[in-house]
Amino acid sequence: MQFFIDLQYILLTTVFLPFFSGLFIYLCSKKLIRDIITITSSFLLLVLIICIHYLSSHYQNLSFTLLDFGKAHISFKIEPIGLTFSLIASLLWMLTSIYAVCYMQKNYSGGSNLFFCCFSIAIGCTISIAFAGDLLTIFVFYELLTISTYPLIVYNINNEAITSGRYYIGLLLGSSMILFFPGIVLLQNVTNSLDFTVGGLLQNNIVSPTFTVVLLFLLIYGIGKAALMPMHFWLPKAMVAPTPVSALLHAVAVVKSGVFIIIKIVFYIFGIENLQNFVKQSWFLGSWLTYVSGFTIIVASLIALKQNNLKKLLAYSTISQLSYIILSVSIFTHSAVKAAVFQLACHAFAKITLFFAAGSIATVSGKKYLHEMGGIGRSMPITTSAFTVGAFAMIGLPPTSAFWGKFFIIRSALAAGNFFTIVVLIISTLLNTAYFVPIIYNAFFIKSSDSFKEVPIPLLIPLIATSTLTLVIFFFPNLVLNLLNRL
């Protein structure tokens, strides 16, 4: 019993650590102390989550309620999907914090306390989402995540940033209030609960297939951060933010929280077996999410082909790759859910590598457009090699982790007889190759009269770490898969 109570305190400390560190960062009068708090708190968060991982093996689906409102509550729960996501997010936050401190010093004379405060609060919201025990808790911290990242989007305070911020806050808050919140209310009225339940909260004898279709639509499209078309417009516009923010948005917090919530909703609210039974009664229920995510994958890749700005290309690549995860979930099997979580991890490490590389190139050379980057690999071989690893992962080539991600999704699709998914992945792989390979070729094989040095070591360390992890997971995929054994 004492062990159980201690684990509750550790979880509570873990959830609120980034919020308190954000407060201290905001009140800090010295930049050096602020930077130390930023990096130290990110390291402590990772340590705490590793402790939770090892201690939680004694308890299955441990949960506790923080605030009770009668029929609804704010609660936290330790379960395999959330624990896996929290480990990924905390590790990447630590590396992003190191990168952000150096990047802001080089490009913004150290940046402001508000920037690093919001940075910390954003990861606090992400960890709270990871450990949320019910949909109301998800909703609260999902909204706080949107609000806390808004100052980061508009950080440059110019017309483009302000316009992008309006898209960001309007679309994300609008979709959650118009779609996600009504879906939560409907679910509460029908089931009298919002708790994440092993096997699913909805049962076949409670609701009809038509209700299930409507509820699934409200909850999926209410999560605008997942960037399913046509809810994707905010994401490319958010690229006006500093590169550490882009990395935070695309690989650590915002979009990953979006697809993570969708995974949890499918697995713990609807339930895999329940959905399989509903699909037998309604063909549309079993197909619309697959077709929408497949459409998003292909169209976003086609748009990426036309981009000349590197960060915008990566933005549309993110839209496409996020839908890989949703496409896998839409197969509605246990193996497909595991494949989706595995792909989430692969994409996180690879995509943050690409953004780190893009930021490093811009910091040293000022180059942001593809036509300017010929020969950059000769001046910055480490940065460009890391970018190559990330690009190969987006394509799905060995020896990068995303090779296994695509393999597991295809295997799940074959087992379910879902050949549409396989065709989409093949077409997407060809399109990814078409827009990433020319960048790599031009960087290494085109001669340029420009000459630059590599970025400082603090910017290189996170880049090397994430690209190395992308390779390591290829050779040791069980590092991620073992986290999901309890599903």
pLDDT reading at 46 higher than 90: yes
Instruction: Give me the long-range contacts of 279-286 (CB less than 8 A, separation at least 24).
Output: 279/332, 281/209, 282/209, 282/210, 282/212, 282/213, 284/213, 285/209, 285/212, 285/213, 285/216, 286/332
Predicted local distance difference test score (pLDDT) of residue 25? 92
Nearest to 465 by CA among 343, 368, 406, 382: 382
User: What pLDDT does 250 receive?
Assistant: 64
Nearest to residue 389, comparing CAs of 443, 445, 469?
Answer: 469
The b-or-e profile of 70-87 (16+ CB within 10 A means b, else e) is eebbbbbbbbbbbbbbbb
Distance CA 317, CA 436 (A): 10
Per domain, the residue ranges of the chain are: 1-286, 308-487
pLDDT digits (tens, 9 = 90+) for 107-165: 777 668 888 899 899 999 999 999 999 999 999 999 999 999 888 888 877 787 788 88
20's tokens:
């308190």
The secondary structure of 175-209 as a DSSP string is: HIIIIIHHHHHHHHHHHS--B--TT-S--TTTS-H
**Phi/psi of residue 30, nearest 5 degrees:** -115, 135
pLDDT at 205: 60
Rounded Cα–Cα distance for residues 271 and 319 (Å) = 26
Counting residues of the chain whose pLDDT is more than 70, the rounded percentage is: 95
Can you tell me the distance from the alpha carbon of 361 to that of 367, in angstroms, rounded to the nearest whole number?
Answer: 7
Distance CA 386, CA 476 (A): 19
Residue 249: pLDDT over 80: no
Indicate whether 241 pLDDT > 80: no
- Give the pLDDT score at 285: 79
Q: Tens of pLDDT along 316-373?
A: 999 999 999 999 999 999 999 999 999 999 999 999 999 889 888 888 887 888 888 8
pLDDT greater than 60 at residue 2: no
pLDDT, mean over the chain: 88
Q: What is the pLDDT of residues 273-309, one digit of tens each?
A: 888 888 888 778 778 999 999 999 999 999 999 998 8
Residue 454's pLDDT is 84
Q: Which two tokens stand for residue 59?
A: 């308890």
Would you state the pLDDT for residue 459? 87
pLDDT for 426 equals: 95
Does residue 24 carry a pLDDT above 70? Answer: yes
Q: Which residues contact 467 (CB under 8 A, 6 or more apart)?
A: 353, 385, 386, 389, 390
pLDDT per residue as tens digits for the range 47-79: 999 988 888 776 656 778 888 887 788 999 998
Angle between helices 113-130 and 31-55 (to 10 degrees): 10
